[in-house]
Amino acid sequence: MVLRTIGALLTGVILSAGCGQALAETAHMPRVAFINPGFGSKGFWKDVSETMHAAAKQFGFEIVEFDSDRQWPLMAQNANRVFAMDPPPDYIIASNEHQQGGRIIIEANTRHIPIFMLLNDLTDEQKARLGHAGGKKLPYWIATLTPDNKKAGYDIARSLVVADEKLHPDETDRDICLLSLTGDWNTPASLDRIAGLDLALADFPVLDEKRRLVANWSYDEAYKRTAGWLPEGCLDAVWAANDDIARGAIAAIEDTGKVAGKDVVVGGLNWSAQGLKLVKEGKMTMTHGGHFLAGAWIMVMLNDFHNGVDLQGKGPNYSFPMQAITRDNVDLFQEKFGKRDWNIVDFTSFSLSGREQDDATYQFDLKHLFAAIKPDR
């Protein structure tokens, strides 16, 4: 477990008694405990962490981060560490990775600590049993921010059909032998992506799914699953739940002498640096994503709540779109964000705080991200 902190000076406001809006002034810099279910030093959750820290610095919050290295027992231990903090944090950000979020939400409410859920909401079954954000049972569960994973799963599958049709323009209605490599069977984001895949399988009957295997978000496991399948049957396309899985599949494909993007089309998700490179090389149809920016978006929302915006009245369940980076827009993205320096973005421009219109909504998308690049950058 790694604990990391970052801060900036601020005279802020804190939550008043009950689950009401932030009203009372305080001289201390508000502290946010982030229970990171992944690695803080690599991969997707590193990107989430970096965008969160960049936005926190602009808004003047201190982030105290507990990295769980994708181990749910360590995530549970980190939750205990958060609740043992003295003084307690002003806010908590957590995720329902491996469905571990329910207990964290309950403990936060017991201690009257406002909590925001990031990327993975509670499942419907959990909500039926425990309660909903802003409800009577869980008033300190302020809001949840999730990406549209179902659409992402669908779009990846559709991109495989389009790519295969371009490779075989004279073979109308040919069956596409599909290997589907999922993340896991528990995390809501994974389940939603699978749901999107299932919708695509119904809409595009040319996709002939031969196997659906769990790769646990891992390059190595994706390599093993793909290498194990290749001798058994045909393979024209790989649906991958994230870029690491796509990369592992591509490595296994190319170790057999096949060419990714020509013999087998592959689609992934995460906007990872490696994924962008493979898209540019034509080895991946797309890398869907942008959801690691949820680290920044949740800080925008937390800051707004801190300054009196009624997130529960406007929500409390917020969703933002993920978008595909393909060969059509990868150069533009890399030109702007190739260095992955999120400090060039003015995240304060996404805030609803101070706006008078009641119908103001968040614009968490690629278009507005480009528009928010600081003029001197």
**Sequence letter at residue 220:** D
Please compute, for residue 127, the number of CA atoms within 13 A of its CA located in the half-sphere on the CB side. Answer: 14
Domain 150-289 carries which CATH code? 3.40.50.2300
Rounded distance, CA 65 to CA 77, Å? 13
Q: What is the DSSP letter of 89?
A: P
Count of residues for the chain?
A: 377
The pLDDT, as a whole number, for residue 70 is 85
Q: Are strands 207-214 and 176-182 parallel, antiparallel or unpaired?
A: parallel
The pLDDT, as a whole number, for residue 23 is 38
pTM of the model: 0.84
Q: Please enumerate in sequence order all residues whose Cβ is within 8 A of that of 340, keeping only pairs 6 or more positions apart, or say none.
A: 47, 50, 273
Q: Residue 74: exposed, middle, or buried by beta-carbon count in 10 A (0-12, 13-18, 19+)? A: middle
The pLDDT, as a whole number, for residue 233 is 78
Note whether 31-147+292-321 and 150-289 share their fold: yes
Rounded distance, CA 173 to CA 182, Å? 26
DSSP string, 206-255: TEEEEEEEE-TT-HHHHHHHHHHHTTTS--SEEEESSHHHHHHHHHHHHH
Furthest-apart CA atoms within the chain: distance in Å: 70
**Sequence letter at residue 11:** T
Give the three-class secondary structure for 34: strand
Please compute, for residue 338, the number of CA atoms within 13 A of its CA located in the half-sphere on the CB side. Answer: 9
Each domain of the chain, given as residue ranges in start order, spans: 31-147+292-321, 150-289
Structurally, at CATH architecture level, domain 31-147+292-321 sits in 3-Layer(aba) Sandwich (3.40)
Give the three-class secondary structure for 362: coil
Backbone dihedral angles phi then psi of residue 218, each to the nearest 5 degrees: -115, 135
**Residue ranges for the chain with pLDDT beneath 70:** 1-27, 356-359, 377
User: Residue 274's closest CA among 117, 73, 43?
Assistant: 43
The pLDDT, as a whole number, for residue 278 is 98
